[in-house]
Structure 1
Amino acid sequence: MLKLFRSSGFTLIELLIALAIMSILVGIAVPNYHHNILTTYRDQAKMKLATISLLQTDHFSRQQQYAELSNLAVDLSSSKYQYRIIIAANNQYRVLATAINEQRNDSECRELSLDHNLTRLPAICW
């Protein structure tokens, strides 16, 4: 009598198809994840620039001049951006956040700036 064998596992072709589908999904997901990480750190830098701007406005209302970053009560420690300020003699300032380390891969937004008129540059990044 002829016995039929019933397979309860996967064939090699089924496993290869599943592996191919997972590879495609990972190929799509990883770049999107990387982009979202860069965008998140950029948003944190924009919030820090806005905080510095608010502190500058407060300092100017009390002292009639803008302060250096070291004189403001803001935590500037970051492994993604380096912050600096340019103060002009005619009561103008510009705060800059320059991307460092792996954040430099954020090619369009390597340097963010916010000035005393709340002009945000580059506009595409805000």
Structure 2
Amino acid sequence: MNEQKGVTLIELLVAVAIIGVLTAIAYPSYQSHILKSYRNQAMGDLAMIQLEIESNRTNGTAYPSSIPSDFCIVCDNSGERYVYTVTSTATTYTLSATKTTLQSSDSCGDLTLKSTGETTPANCWK
């Protein structure tokens, strides 16, 4: 009898189907982790900017009305995921990280950090 070696079409289709199912399960989880990592980066950036603002305030400088580019040299200032802004008065300020299109599917929304230490959305800063 002539014995054939190789993979049948059915076996190949089963392998492709298994890979498809694994990919369908893994990709959303991967995307979730990517969004969370960029959110954590934005939270860290807001904290770094807050430190710089408070440092300047102790030197007698008023709270800024915009974020100078040299305030946080390690921050992600590209604007690809978040855009950072500050709203200030003589005695308070609010830092905001507004998400852009690349971060639009992040369920946490825009991040804020106030001079009082209050953060919103609170459940995302845990």
- Runs of 4 or more above 4 Å deviation: none
Pick aligned residue for 2:31 from 18, 31, 34: 34
For 2:69 and 2:7, the matched residues in 1 are separated by 67
Query: What is aligned with 1:23?
Result: 20
Q: CA RMSD in A?
A: 1.6
Q: Which structure: larger Rg?
A: 1
Distance 2:111 2:37 in 1: 14
CA distance in 2, matches of 1:73, 1:66: 12
- How far is 1:72 from its partner? 5.3
Instruction: State the aligned residue count.
Output: 121
Contact 1:80/1:102, CA 8 A, preserved across alignment: yes
User: Which deviations, in whole Å up to 9, do the C-alpha atoms of 1:75-102 show, x marking residues without a partner?
Assistant: 433211111111123x111100000122
2:85 and 2:6 mapped to 1: Cα distance? 62
Paired with 2:54 and 2:23, the residues of 1 have a C-alpha distance of 47
Larger helix share, 1 or 2:
1
TM-score of the superposed pair, with normalisation by structure 2: 0.87
Structure 1 contact 112–122 (Cα < 8 Å) conserved = yes
Q: Which residue does the alignment assign to 2:45?
A: 48
Q: Deviations over 1:44-103 (max 9, x none)?
A: 1111100011011101111153223127522433211111111123x1111000001221
- Percent of pairs identical after alignment? 35
Residue 80 of structure 2 contacts residue 102 of structure 2 at CA under 8 Å; is this kept in 1?
no
Structure 1: runs of 5+ lacking an equivalent: none
Distance 2:124 2:89 in 1: 25
State the shift of 1:11 in Å. 1.2
Question: Where does 1:1-126 land on structure 2 (aligned, <5 Å)?
Answer: 4-63=1-60, 65-68=62-65, 69-70=67-68, 73-75=71-73, 76-89=77-90, 91-106=91-106, 108-126=107-125
**Per the alignment, in what secondary structure is the counterpart of residue 85 of structure 1?**
strand
1-structure distance, mates of 2:79, 2:45? 10
TM-score, scaled to structure 1: 0.87
